[in-house]
Homo-oligomer: A and B are copies of this chain.
């Protein structure tokens, strides 16, 4: 192995990205420096936030420059270590990018326990998406027993954990997802109390039916019309964690939200958040999530694309909602 395959950002998208915005290149295998490790990635994570990084506009994190390796989390095996903290054969997770090999600071990756869960789970339920669900639901929204928790993109990597965490806190969990199959999965396999298929065209009506006691907590992954609909169901002192607005990322003309009066009338707290701002909460979150996972109370599904070259198409499919559960790319 002397060659590292990488996917670069080839150009910035206008509206929906296409495969032409990415470029696969070969480069020499990186060499780890002092206190670094060389990691062979086994699974690459594909996540909605990456879409924002493709733009030059101000966002919460630095844009990927054209010609740079696309950013992304990956889990893999240490194949060479120049750090006393990690040994050859250890599995680690970290921001290794869209590439097969990466030299990374030992301090920038986290060792994972592949006996508790298979490696790819550390990109989803026991990784950034799982911690995101925990921070938004538990820390920001503080759900109480008996409350109704609604989450959009409920079958996704974050949403699926939000609903299961809500159930473990004694809440009514209501999902919003696209398509009958996703909704069936959310209710029958993940154990939500109800799931609304927004593609069925009766969002307002179905949401009302599914939330007879109103909505106390809304975990927002989608934005736009979905947010407008949920705003009409808010209870007094409801909380909204704004985790993502995936419906708007590719919109050249953003949707205008009309029902913000509900924020005033119901004294709603709406809070945007980014999980990387809350690093101090990761240990607590991962401890909670690991405990539930070991008890079989955190079910998950993955959509696995095969090989680095498939990453751009899989990423675009995820933005269109074609994945089922967490989208990863198998590299080994």
Residues of A near any B CB (own CB < 8 A): 52, 58-60, 223, 227, 236, 242-245, 248, 253-261, 263-274, 277
| A253 proximity list for chain B (CB < 8 A) | 258
A-B contact pairs, 28 of them (CB 8 A): A52-B265, A58-B265, A60-B236, A60-B264, A60-B265, A60-B266, A223-B260, A223-B261, A227-B260, A242-B260, A242-B263, A243-B264, A245-B264, A248-B261, A253-B258, A254-B259, A255-B258, A256-B258, A257-B257, A264-B274, A265-B272, A266-B272, A267-B271, A267-B272, A267-B274, A269-B269, A269-B272, A270-B270
| A223 proximity list for chain B (CB < 8 A) | 260-261
With the chains together, A242 CA to B271 CA distance in Å?
13
Q: Give the interface centre of A59, A264, A268, A274 by most chain B CB atoms within 10 Å.
A: A264
With the chains together, A277 CA to B261 CA distance in Å?
17
With the chains together, A271 CA to B271 CA distance in Å?
8
A262–chain B nearest beta-carbon distance, Å: 8
- Cβ-defined contact, A273 with B265, below 8 A: no
What is the copy number of this chain in the assembly? Answer: 2
Closest chain B residue to A61 by CB distance? B265
Nearest 4 interchain pairs by C-beta: A256-B256, A263-B272, A264-B272, A270-B270
A49–chain B nearest beta-carbon distance, Å: 10
With the chains together, A248 CA to B245 CA distance in Å?
24
Closest chain B residue to A266 by CB distance? B272
Closest chain B residue to A267 by CB distance? B272
Given A254-B258, A255-B258, A261-B248, decide whether A60 and B267 contact each other with a Cβ distance below 8 A. Answer: yes
With the chains together, A52 CA to B264 CA distance in Å?
12
| A255 proximity list for chain B (CB < 8 A) | 256, 258
With the chains together, A260 CA to B249 CA distance in Å?
12
| A274 proximity list for chain B (CB < 8 A) | 264, 267
With the chains together, A257 CA to B257 CA distance in Å?
5
- Cβ-defined contact, A260 with B245, below 8 A: yes
With the chains together, A245 CA to B264 CA distance in Å?
8
- Cβ-defined contact, B277 with A273, below 8 A: no
Q: Give the interface centre of A243, A248, A261, A277 by most chain B CB atoms within 10 Å.
A: A261
A113–chain B nearest beta-carbon distance, Å: 31
With the chains together, A259 CA to B248 CA distance in Å?
10
Closest chain B residue to A278 by CB distance? B267
| A268 proximity list for chain B (CB < 8 A) | 271-272
A15–chain B nearest beta-carbon distance, Å: 15
With the chains together, A48 CA to B126 CA distance in Å?
49
* Partner among B245, B264, B269 whose Cβ is within 8 Å of the Cβ of A261: B245
A39–chain B nearest beta-carbon distance, Å: 30
| A254 proximity list for chain B (CB < 8 A) | 258-261
A181–chain B nearest beta-carbon distance, Å: 28
